[in-house]
Structure 1
Amino acid sequence: MLVWIVFAAVLFLALFSRFPYFFQDVQHALKKLKSSRLILKYIQTNYFMLDRFSELVKLQPHKPLLLFKDETFTYRQADELSNKAARVFLQSGLKQGDTAALFLGNEPMFLWLWLGLGKIGCSAAFLNYNIRSRSLLHSFACSGAKALVAAEELQDAVEEVLPSLLEEQVKVFILADRCRTADVQSFKDKMNQASSDPISKDLRSHLTMRSPAVYIYTSGTTGLPKAAVVTHSKLWALSKFPSVAGVKSTDVLYDSLPLYHSAGFIGFTATIDKGMTLALRNKFSASQFWDDCRKYNVTVIQYIGEIMRYICSTPKKHNDRSHKVRLAIGNGIRPDVWREFISRFGNINVREFYGATEGNFSLINYSNKIGAIGRHTFLHKKFFPYALIKFDIDAGKPLRDSAGFCIEADKGEPGLLVCKITATTPFFGYARDLQQTEKKKLHNVLKKGDLYFNSGDLLTVDDDNFIHFQDRVGDTFRWKGENVATTEVADALTLLDCIKEANVYGVEVPGQEGRAGMAAVTLREGQSFDSAGVFKHVEKFLPAYARPRFLRIQSSLDVTGTFKYLKMKLVKEGFDPNQITDPLYFLDDKDKDYVPLTLDVFNSVTSGKIKI
């Protein structure tokens, strides 16, 4: 018996030494499979998020569901307030299958409105509260909404498009006690008068798991926003993700991300899934972040984009480690910021993930490997089929072999992530936009007749099978016959003491093929631009083709509501000092410096007198 125990121990150690992540890989695959089976069961039994919410109202009516500023809302109170909202929508003429658009920031009413709409079998369209005019009308029209509910502070934006809305016979509400316009009604006033009695489940009896639960819009970094269709089954899939990442029913989740974005909204639906408590912030604040975490006894935080960097940029305090946060879930954290975050704020498990609102695939870094977004394993690929395929940057499409099939990328080589579309991993596309929906599909990828979702993202797999995000297909550009990943260049630039942020993109240069690298940067407080130092740094850290030929110093960088850099306007303006008032610099290889980009230098570059 002892011999067998020793043999098993030796075998275990040998296996662990050869495959150190084996048990983590298996455990994660089993968690995802369990989650998938649960969702399949929900689909078969028509079990909705609202059913889960109703159960929790009965099981834990007095447990706090939402903490907001100095207010606490229990599960029962949330139920009653959403019942009131549901009745206002019913009185306004909304019926099962209709959609209402929500145009407001992070506040409790956002959640009561969504729950109320669901209770009468309606869906919601989450409008970005930063959009205006044409973009606002476009986003509204995408969803086919018959009603609009807007925050009081957005009255001006609503009145700007009101004639168009009224022409379409849209019901318009403002979350104010009184309205200043005759054609706009007060939602609050009507809600105060409505009954909080339970809403009959019959009002949503027509719903299936393929019915839309919500329309969530893409950021619109490359054009007008597209409305991703999030069905009730898709909503479950998104909401289970934090559970796979390790959240528990006893957790308090801190959500400072916009609720109109999937990452922010899933903070709420994941709260319902686990029956926990959500601490909601109206708008992210780096200076108030940890004070909020201490105030609400937060144990799990969400992040996206540059939030972690903003937190790390705050002045150090003696109580930086005085908190209960054990888990951080999000995406887009740079490796250097990741290291600084855990070094300064304590050994918090960071669960960096990869996924898209409309996508049918996700990854999560469950191994705490800094810089990775997940792992490439046999088990994961078998149950959730995907591939990284070679991509032609110049042609803007995947490379195919002589038989017409795509070619899988080698280890260490950037490849376009494509994810197989099946009954269990569907792609629902964009509302009222068949053209954009079809553009995201790839046919005959690895064999005849197969169908894959085109993520538009380039990823790499390293020698240890960790997956790393490389770049967006639209962001990567080609220069001197080489592919330049904007994220790689931006990461290198922000290592400099003087550079705080960097937004990298490619610009056209007359007479040159491809695009030359350019970076819009902001400087750290109290720092001046060290042109020679920047040159030495990029020369050391970046290959010649990836070094930005042009630099543009800005006071701030334009970002979307989820902190993604906006590039279209920058690309259009290029490096022309006739159009740009910001300081411009040109990489001068001869002087080994970044020199001011004057009109003379500009004309010399565009005429070909200066070779780049």
Structure 2
Amino acid sequence: MALVPWPWLAGAAAAGLLSLRLLQQLFFPYFWLDLRFLLKAVRYGLTMEGYRLSGRIRTVLDKFVQAAERQPEKPFLLFEGKVHTYRAVDRRSNRLARLFLQEGRLGRGQTVALLMSNGPDFIHAWFALAKLGCVVAFLNFNVRSRSLLHCVHSCAPKMLVVGADMLETLEEILPSLQEDIRIWVMTKDSSLPRVETILNKLDVLSDDPVPDSLRTASNLKDPYLYIFTSGTTGLPKAAVISHLQSIKGAAGLWAFGATPDDIIYITLPLYHSAASLLGIGGCIELGATCVLRKKFSASQFWIDCKKYNVTVIQYIGELCRYLCKQPVKEEERNHKVRIAVGNGVRTDVWREFLHRFGDIKMCEFYGATEGNICFMNHTGKVGSVGRTNFFYKLFFPFDLIKYDFQKEEPIRNKNGWCERVKKGEPGLLLSKVNSKNPFFGYAGNKRDTEKKLLCGVFKKKDFYFNTGDLLIQDQADFLYFWDRTGDTFRWKGENVATTEVSDVIGMLEFIQEANVYGVSVQGYEGKAGMASIILKPNKFLDVEQLYEHVVTYLPSYARPLFLRVQEIMDITGTFKQQKFQLVGEGFNPSSISDPLYFLDTTKKSYMLLTGELYEKILSGQVKL
């Protein structure tokens, strides 16, 4: 028998490998990217499981304390030119913890609400309270009056901690706050009644750690934070964030390729999960440095990035659009930013952002604050919020189902089951609820928690979390955000609950009924608020009073920018306000016969929306 020559075998093997490579690129082009990302996720999951099995639960706070011991002099926060090292933040939070423990008489498991803007003291207070085993409720400082009171009362706090720049907001609600809520302000003195001050007491306190036993978590599913979300209906709700969710959130930057040497730039508000869980938590997970800004500034963004040698930035869609609208500056390409992590950016803005600001890895993700599912775009596919495959659905089962836009509910067949959409069709995203992917719901709100669950979706007694979002899955298994459902829309990076806005407008004596919804505006992310109103008989529209009312009682992002005055309010067959048709008609005065108005902040009133003004809004001459 003739021997096969080795050169021939080597050549055949090489040809076979090349063929396999070509087939893989042709039919499975994302195989290696998917595999690498999957192995990374599995490795992290196995590490967490190892800690659980050994009985050593390591929370994000535990990791921070360990980082402060391991690298005490490394900068943790850079804020307004001042450096706060890991050790400095740890020690100041120890002092605050001692103050709250001794004079505040706080105990493990009690809730404390935090009303503070971005700054080191937000972090100090948060960590101090967490070191006492308290559940910290982050209050949205844009919310005012009645809505803010609702938020405070809904999480039933024993204490309210208020930042020095939030005293005016506190003064508005102080007379209506329950007497048993102790109030501490981050100042040296105060003339407000019932208020206790913090800064005049800190220097005499020890910065030694409080006992570790106070913060030790017995279960990863124990509550860690309450983060408020408007969800789909009504007033804001306190989403329960467990230690498990915080640990998963903290792994996000690492999963996208960030390292301990990175410098992370956070301009988003810390009361949101993106900045607190992904940003600050991600910085702790890596042992990296964070540049924290009190408020986003489009004009200073790239200047800051160059000044602080920023390598990782966080964004929302609106932030990217604002940056693209800025005049060209030298710093916008002369920077070290290599990764951008966020969500909600439009495809056209995405492309313009990369073209203008350089070769930055855009890491788009999808996730609801209270949700039990997250998608991460690890391939850089423009416009996509993530990618799924067999293995992902094995660990995080989800489905996209058919949705009735008129009735605003899932479509069920004759047998009562929901039906999956085909690839390329928009479907309502549902995520299966099980022991590995639990849904923790809302604090003190059993009814709204139950409303977010769908039962009997594909079989009896199955439970799914209803995200309220419509997504599309293409033929290559990439996922794209399509729209939101329910009585909510997104504007300026915030969720707006239409029923809350309707209730506020309905407080006016000349309004009989208000129907609030979101409308698309050319060149803007999300949807702008619009209110269709019915006036009471023999009453007239007082546009100046309406303006003063919405400015007083609603945060800027929730104020309706457009008004439509109707004689009759259309309703659905189930006696709900009809929004579907109104949303489609928009705010074009040339196609709508009803009187239309526009919120004009310069004139502090609602002004008649003319065709000329409409064109200026679309062209960008009038800013929203």
Q: TM-score, normalised by structure 1?
A: 0.81
The DSSP-based 3-state class of the residue aligned with 2:370 is coil
Of the candidates 598, 601, 609, which is equivalent to residue 583 of structure 1?
Answer: 609
Give the equivalent residue in structure 2 for 1:241: 252
Say if 1:427 and 1:221 are closer, same or farther in 2 by CA, change over 3 A. Answer: closer
Task: Determine what percentage of the aligned residue pairs are the same residue.
Answer: 42
Give the equivalent residue in structure 2 for 1:436: 448
Q: Please list, as runs of the form range in 1=range in 2, the aligned pairs for 1:126-525 lying within 5 A after superposition.
A: 126-167=138-179, 169-205=180-216, 207-219=218-230, 222-266=233-277, 267-474=279-486, 490=520, 493-494=522-523, 503=528, 510=568, 514-516=580-582, 517-519=584-586
Moved more, 319-328 or 364-373: 364-373
- Cα deviation, residue 361, structure 1: 0.3
Give the equivalent residue in structure 1 for 2:503: none
In structure 1, what is the Cα distance between the partners aligned to 2:109 and 2:352? 48
* 1:331-356 deviation digits (Å, cap 9, x = unpaired): 01111111111101101011111001
- Cα deviation, residue 248, structure 1: 1.1
- Cα deviation, residue 136, structure 1: 1.5
- Cα deviation, residue 40, structure 1: 3.3
* 1:492-513 deviation digits (Å, cap 9, x = unpaired): x22xxxx899637696975977
For the 8 Å contact 1:255–1:281, the answer to whether it is kept is yes
Of the candidates 4, 19, 32, which is equivalent to residue 23 of structure 1?
Answer: 32
In structure 1, what is the Cα distance between the partners aligned to 2:308 and 2:95? 27
Residues paired across the two proteins, number: 533
For the 8 Å contact 1:172–1:184, the answer to whether it is kept is yes
The DSSP-based 3-state class of the residue aligned with 1:447 is coil
2:45 is the counterpart of 1:36: yes
* 1:41-61 deviation digits (Å, cap 9, x = unpaired): 444432211221121112111
The letter for the 1-side match of 2:101 is L
The DSSP-based 3-state class of the residue aligned with 1:14 is helix
Say if 1:520 and 1:246 are closer, same or farther in 2 by CA, change over 3 A. Answer: farther
Say if 1:464 and 1:64 are closer, same or farther in 2 by CA, change over 3 A. Answer: same
For the 8 Å contact 1:104–1:150, the answer to whether it is kept is yes
Moved more, 339-348 or 439-448: 439-448
The DSSP-based 3-state class of the residue aligned with 1:306 is helix
Q: Please list, as runs of the form range in 1=range in 2, the aligned pairs for 1:78-117 lying within 5 A after superposition.
A: 78-91=89-102, 92-117=104-129
In structure 2, what is the Cα distance between the partners aligned to 1:518 and 1:585? 15
Moved more, 400-409 or 108-117: 400-409
For the 8 Å contact 2:95–2:202, the answer to whether it is kept is yes
In structure 2, what is the Cα distance between the partners aligned to 1:233 and 1:501? 30
In structure 2, what is the Cα distance between the partners aligned to 1:548 and 1:47? 62
- Cα deviation, residue 188, structure 1: 1.3
In structure 2, what is the Cα distance between the partners aligned to 1:311 and 1:132? 28
The letter for the 1-side match of 2:19 is V
For the 8 Å contact 2:314–2:342, the answer to whether it is kept is yes
For the 8 Å contact 1:503–1:520, the answer to whether it is kept is no
For the 8 Å contact 2:133–2:214, the answer to whether it is kept is yes
The letter for the 2-side match of 1:490 is S
- Cα deviation, residue 518, structure 1: 4.4
Say if 1:242 and 1:8 are closer, same or farther in 2 by CA, change over 3 A. Answer: same
The DSSP-based 3-state class of the residue aligned with 2:330 is coil
- Cα deviation, residue 519, structure 1: 4.0
For the 8 Å contact 1:293–1:325, the answer to whether it is kept is yes
The letter for the 1-side match of 2:219 is T
For the 8 Å contact 1:26–1:379, the answer to whether it is kept is no
- Cα deviation, residue 550, structure 1: 9.6
The letter for the 1-side match of 2:520 is A
Say if 1:276 and 1:206 are closer, same or farther in 2 by CA, change over 3 A. Answer: closer
Moved more, 452-461 or 510-519: 510-519
Of the candidates 7, 10, 22, which is equivalent to residue 13 of structure 1?
Answer: 22
Say if 1:43 and 1:472 are closer, same or farther in 2 by CA, change over 3 A. Answer: farther
Say if 1:500 and 1:144 are closer, same or farther in 2 by CA, change over 3 A. Answer: closer
Structure 2, unaligned runs of 5 or more: 1-8, 490-516, 533-563, 573-579, 618-624
In structure 1, what is the Cα distance between the partners aligned to 2:168 and 2:258? 40
- Cα deviation, residue 368, structure 1: 1.6
* 1:377-413 deviation digits (Å, cap 9, x = unpaired): 2221122100000011222221112222210001111
For the 8 Å contact 1:519–1:551, the answer to whether it is kept is no
For the 8 Å contact 2:600–2:606, the answer to whether it is kept is no
Q: TM-score, normalised by structure 2?
A: 0.80
For the 8 Å contact 1:121–1:207, the answer to whether it is kept is no
For the 8 Å contact 2:283–2:290, the answer to whether it is kept is yes
In structure 2, what is the Cα distance between the partners aligned to 1:396 and 1:41? 44
For the 8 Å contact 2:264–2:290, the answer to whether it is kept is yes
- Cα deviation, residue 552, structure 1: 6.0
Give the equivalent residue in structure 1 for 2:85: 74
The DSSP-based 3-state class of the residue aligned with 1:581 is strand
Give the equivalent residue in structure 2 for 1:59: 70
- Cα deviation, residue 360, structure 1: 0.4
The DSSP-based 3-state class of the residue aligned with 1:72 is strand
The letter for the 2-side match of 1:286 is A
Say if 1:556 and 1:454 are closer, same or farther in 2 by CA, change over 3 A. Answer: farther
In structure 2, what is the Cα distance between the partners aligned to 1:5 and 1:166? 77
In structure 1, what is the Cα distance between the partners aligned to 2:593 and 2:426? 21
The letter for the 2-side match of 1:281 is R
In structure 1, what is the Cα distance between the partners aligned to 2:208 and 2:459? 56
For the 8 Å contact 1:39–1:233, the answer to whether it is kept is no
Give the equivalent residue in structure 2 for 1:482: none
- Cα deviation, residue 230, structure 1: 0.4
2:77 is the counterpart of 1:47: no
Indicate the RMSD between aligned Cα atoms, in angstroms.
3.0
- Cα deviation, residue 111, structure 1: 0.4
Say if 1:443 and 1:49 are closer, same or farther in 2 by CA, change over 3 A. Answer: same
Say if 1:354 and 1:220 are closer, same or farther in 2 by CA, change over 3 A. Answer: closer
In structure 1, what is the Cα distance between the partners aligned to 2:310 and 2:35? 30
Say if 1:431 and 1:43 are closer, same or farther in 2 by CA, change over 3 A. Answer: farther
For the 8 Å contact 2:302–2:331, the answer to whether it is kept is no
In structure 1, what is the Cα distance between the partners aligned to 2:526 and 2:57? 47
